[in-house]
Amino acid sequence: MSPAAMMGSEEGEEINCGEIDDISMSYQKGVKHLQERGITKLPNKYILPFSERPNLREIAVGPAIRFTTESNALKLPVIDFSHFCGPNRSQALASLAKACEHYGFFQLINHGIPSDVIDRMMKASRDFFELPFEERSKYMTSDMRAAVRCGTSFSQKRDNVFCWRDFLKLSCHSLPGVLPFWPSSPPDLREAGVSYSKKTKNLYLELMGAIVESLGVAEEGAAIHQSEKSGLEEFGGGSHIIVANCYPACPEPDLTLGMLPHSDYGFLTLLLQDEQVEGLQIHHQGRWVSVAPTPASSFIINVGDHLEIFSNGRYKSVLHRVVANSSSTRFSVASLHSLSFESMVRPSPKLIDDQNPRRYKDTSYADFLEFISLKEHKGKNFLESRKN
282 binds ligand AKG (CB under 6 A): no
Q: How far is the CB of 75 from ligand AKG (least distance, A)?
A: 17
- Total residues at interface with ligand AKG (CB under 6 A): 12
- From the list 40-48, 102-110, 170-178, 272-280, the region that binds ligand AKG by CB under 6 A is 272-280
Q: Whole-number minimum distance, CB 321 to ligand AKG, in Å?
A: 8
Of the residues 264, 278, 308, 367, which one makes contact with ligand AKG according to CB under 6 A: 264
Q: Which amino acid, one-letter code, is at 230?
A: S
Pick from 150, 259, 303, 323: which binds ligand AKG (CB under 6 A)? 259
Closest separation in Å from C-beta 131 to ligand AKG: 20
Residue 273 in contact with ligand AKG, rule: CB under 6 A: yes
User: Pairing between strand 287-291 and 73-74?
Assistant: parallel
Give the binding range for ligand AKG (CB under 6 A) out of 131-139, 142-150, 205-213, 271-279: 271-279
Is residue 280 part of the contact set for ligand AKG (CB under 6 A)?
yes
**Min separation Cβ 200 and ligand AKG, Å:** 14
HSE of 116, CA atoms in CB hemisphere, 13 A: 2
- Of the listed pieces 3-11, 225-233, 273-281, 306-314, which binds ligand AKG according to CB under 6 A? 273-281
- Considering the complex, state which of residue 164 and residue 360 has its C-beta at the smaller distance from ligand AKG: 164
**Nearest distance from C-beta of residue 330 to ligand AKG, angstroms:** 7
Q: Give residues with Cβ within 8 angstroms of 58, minimum separation 6.
A: 65, 66, 67, 253, 325, 326, 327
Which residue, 57, 198, 214, is CA-closest to 120? Answer: 198
Please report whether residue 243 would count as binding ligand AKG according to CB under 6 A.
yes
For 174, phi then psi, to 5°, come to -90, 145
Q: Are strands 240-247 and 299-303 parallel, antiparallel or unpaired?
A: unpaired
Instruction: Kindly tell me the sign of the dihedral angle through the C-alpha atoms of 143, 148, 152, 155.
Output: positive
Nearer to ligand AKG by C-beta: 167 or 360?
167
Instruction: Look at residue 326 and give its three-state secondary structure.
Output: coil
Q: Which of 348, 349, 346 lies closest to 360, judged by CA? A: 346
C-alpha 173/C-alpha 171 separation (Å) is 6
Q: Residues 153, 197, 239, 245: which binds ligand AKG (CB under 6 A)?
A: 245
List, in order, residues 6 or more apart from 364 with CB less than 8 Å away: 339, 341, 342, 343, 344, 345
Closest to 266 (Cα-Cα) out of 243, 288, 245: 243
- Which 316-345 residues touch ligand AKG, going by CB under 6 A? 320, 322, 332, 334
Binding site for ligand AKG (CB under 6 A): 243, 245, 259, 264, 271, 273, 279-280, 320, 322, 332, 334
